[in-house]
Amino acid sequence: MKNITVIGAGSWGSAIAHLLNKNSHNVTLFTYTKELAENISKNNENKKFLPNIKIPTTIEVTNDISKATTNKDIYVLAVPSVHIRENLNKFKPFLKENDLIINASKGLDQVNKTTLSEVIKEILPNCKVAVLSGPSHAEEVAKGIPTTVVSSSKDEATAKLVQDIFMNEYFRVYTNSDIVGVELGGALKNVIALASGISDGLGFGDNTKAAIMTRGIAEISRLGVAMGGNPITFNGLAGVGDLIVTCTSVHSRNRRAGIMIGEGKKLDDVLKEVDMVVEGVNTAKAALMFAKEYNVNMPIIEGINKILFDRDKTTENEF
């Protein structure tokens, strides 16, 4: 039994807390929103982000950092990527040397043009770092549907520890030492999911979407290799596996947002309608910066940036 705090009570954070609680760990679920913390505790359910799943009373839900860090040494980060820096800085005074931070968020850091685990190392240089990624929709994990992911760390013992913590009969964890590749796969697939959704929204077909996904993973792999990732990672669960689930599943927010954009809705209206963070939108912008920085050709990423951010500046015929 480990003492673990999950930071972030969105869909994924809530599903992770639920899973770790099933695995008999001592789990705290932290959220900044007092209202959300009280709501989950009162209802034994996260009605907004993970409806119809019982959050057992054995999970402590709190918005108090001091409580969330008492007797804990393992933290799972599951917050929108734009809030990673702010979260780490707020937790920093409460953390001990060698505490383990497991990043379960998917996105890129625009400040230093780097991956999220690099941000963790920058802000918390004395903590251990790992990443959990793969095709794992929160809704399905919470229902106990068979799921596979990778636990990645440069330190093999850390990757194995994460594997031990998460593994159970329906949640299979493979270790992987290519943390850069794993994080890039998880982040960039959200942009390709937007593109796939746009294709669906325009009324194109499964043939079209398969083409976008295949060319999409090729782009992701090109950037990943330029940034030091292992090309084999992009053929695996954290690469094409996660891409497949995000581009084809009804659960995918990024794909859903893409469909609405493809149907002609404006980005602002789409984001209001989805009413949860659509990581692909921020990641699209960051990925374009990365592509320029590393001098990698990413035509789909470029196209998506034009559709997301330049559409209203152009005449309709240009699209």
Give the rounded distance of the alpha carbon of 224 from its chain centre.
17
HEC sequence for the chain: CCEEEEECCCHHHHHHHHHHHHCCCEEEEECCCHHHHHHHHHHCEECCCEEEEECCCCCEEECCHHHHCCCCCEEEECCCHHHHHHHHHHHHHHCCCCCEEEECCCCEECCCCEEHHHHHHHHCCCCEEEEEECCCCHHHHHCCCCEEEEEECCCHHHHHHHHHHHCCCCEEEEEECCHHHHHHHHHHHHHHHHHHHHHHHCCCCHHHHHHHHHHHHHHHHHHHHHCCCCHHHHHCHHHHHHHHHHHHCCCCHHHHHHHHHHCCCCHHHHHHHHCCCCHHHHHHHHHHHHHHHCCCCCHHHHHHHHHHHHHHHCCHHHC
Distance CA 80, CA 60 (A): 21
CB of 105 to a second copy, least distance (A): 18
Q: From CA 48, how far away is CA 275, in angstroms rounded? A: 10
Tell me whether residue 39 or residue 148 sits nearer to a second copy (CB atom): 148
Q: Does 249 bind a second copy (CB under 8 A)?
A: yes
| Sole binder of a second copy in the list 208, 226, 276, 285 (CB under 8 A) | 208
By C-beta, is 39 or 208 nearer to a second copy? 208
Minimum CB separation of residue 194 from a second copy in Å reads 17
CB of 233 to a second copy, least distance (A): 12
- The answer to whether 189 is a known catalytic residue is yes
State the binding string over 116-155 for a second copy (x if CB under 8 A, else -): -------------------xxx--xx-x-xxxx-------
In the complex, least distance from residue 100 CB atom to a second copy, rounded to whole angstroms: 25
Instruction: Provide the b/e sequence for 174-195 (b: ≥16 CB within 10 Å).
Output: bbbebbbbbbbbbbbbbbbbbb
Residues 33-62 interacting with a second copy (rule: CB under 8 A): none
23, 41, 177, 235: which one binds a second copy (CB under 8 A): 235
Residues between 160 and 199 that touch a second copy (CB under 8 A): 172
Which residues, numbered 276-305, are part of the site for a second copy (CB under 8 A)? Answer: none
For residue 273, state whether it binds a second copy (rule: CB under 8 A): no
Asked if 244 touches a second copy (CB under 8 A), the answer is yes
In the complex, minimum distance from the CB of residue 193 to a second copy, in angstroms, rounded to a whole number = 12
The active-site residue, picked from 128, 189, 265, 266, is: 189
Cα distance between residue 261 and residue 259, in whole Å:
5
Residue choice 51, 205, 264, 299 for contact with a second copy (CB under 8 A): 205
Q: How far is the CB of 148 from a second copy (least distance, A)?
A: 4
By CB under 8 A, tell whether 111 contacts a second copy. no
Q: Does 206 bind a second copy (CB under 8 A)?
A: yes
Identified binder of a second copy from the candidate list 66, 71, 98, 207, rule CB under 8 A: 207
Say which amino acid occupies 304. I
Please, what is the minimum distance in Å from the beta carbon of residue 134 to a second copy? 8
Contact with a second copy (CB under 8 A) among 23, 26, 83, 204? 204
Residues that bind a second copy (CB under 8 A): 135-137, 140-141, 143, 145-148, 172, 204-211, 213-214, 217-218, 221, 235-237, 240-242, 244-245, 248-251
Which residues participate in catalysis according to the annotation? 189
